[in-house]
Amino acid sequence: MPDRDFYDTPSPGKEPGAGRGAERSTETEAERRRRRAQFLRDLAEARELRDRVQPRRAKAARLRHAMRMRTFRW
């Protein structure tokens, strides 16, 4: 179909990462790691909160994980 080619081909200058290129050059590796560490801390905190709020679901998830680990072949 000719109209499908239009959607598959990105327009020039509208690439997903085009606007972030200049921002990336000024960002240091340490800043990126700091932001990533903060994100991972927030994610862990959210998981702990969810586990406290939904203990039954958390227990089921722990049991499923334990079953997967028991059946995993090293």
Single-letter residue type at 73:
R
Over the stretch 23-67, which tens digit does the pLDDT of each residue have?
Answer: 556 889 999 999 999 999 999 999 999 989 998 998 999 999 999
Q: What are phi and psi of 18, to 5 degrees?
A: -65, -40
User: For the whole prediction, is pTM greater than 0.75?
Assistant: no
Residue 27 backbone dihedrals phi, psi, to 5 degrees: -80, 130
Q: How far is CA 70 from the centre of its chain?
A: 27
Residue 64 in tokens: 């499923």
Instruction: Confirm if 39 and 47 have CB atoms less than 8 A apart.
Output: no
